Amino acid sequence: MSASYLVVDESSETPPYRQIAEQIRAAIERRDLMPNATLPTVRQLAGDLGIAPNTVARAYTEMQNEGWLVGEGRRGTRVAENAPLASGRERARGLREAVVGFVEGLQHRGFSVQEISRAFQQAL
C-alpha cells in the first residue's frame, strides 16, 4: 500500500490517526490489502502524508490492538492473516455512522441540510 491511497483531511473533525486507521481498514475489507501485505513503515507513511510519525504509529497500534495488523518490530507491519472483517450488516452500519458523523460535522460548521444534499448529489 502506498500513501496515494490515503488522505488526511486537516479540516475534518476526525483525528488524523483515526482517518488513517479507517482508510486502511476499508482497504483491507475491500481486499485492496490482502492478508500478510506489508504496510509502509511509520516514517515512510508519515513522510508521504506530511504528518508526524507518532500519528501513523498511533493508527498502526490501534489497528494492531483490534487485530487488523501485526507488528513485527524492524521487519515492519503487515495485514493480519485473520483480520476481523465486518459482515455486510456491520459495514452498512459503519457507513451510516460515518455519514451521520460527517453530516453533523458539516452542520456544526454552518452548512444547511439542503447545501449538504446538493453537494452530495454533485459529488455522486
Q: Are residues 71 and 97 in the same domain?
A: no
| Residue-range definition of the domain harbouring residue 61 | 3-79
The better pLDDT of the pair 73, 44 is held by 44
What pLDDT is stored for residue 44 in this prediction? Answer: 93
Say if CB 28 and CB 83 are below 8 A apart.
Answer: yes
Give the number of domains in the chain: 2
What pLDDT is stored for residue 98 in this prediction? Answer: 82
Looking at residues 96-110, what average pLDDT do you find? 88
Q: Residue 97: helix, strand or coil by DSSP?
A: helix
Distance of CA 107 to the CA centre of its chain: 22
Q: Are residues 74 and 99 in the same domain?
A: no
Q: Are residues 66 and 95 in the same domain?
A: no
Please check the confidence at residue 1 and state whether its pLDDT lies above 60.
no
Q: Are residues 34 and 75 in the same domain?
A: yes
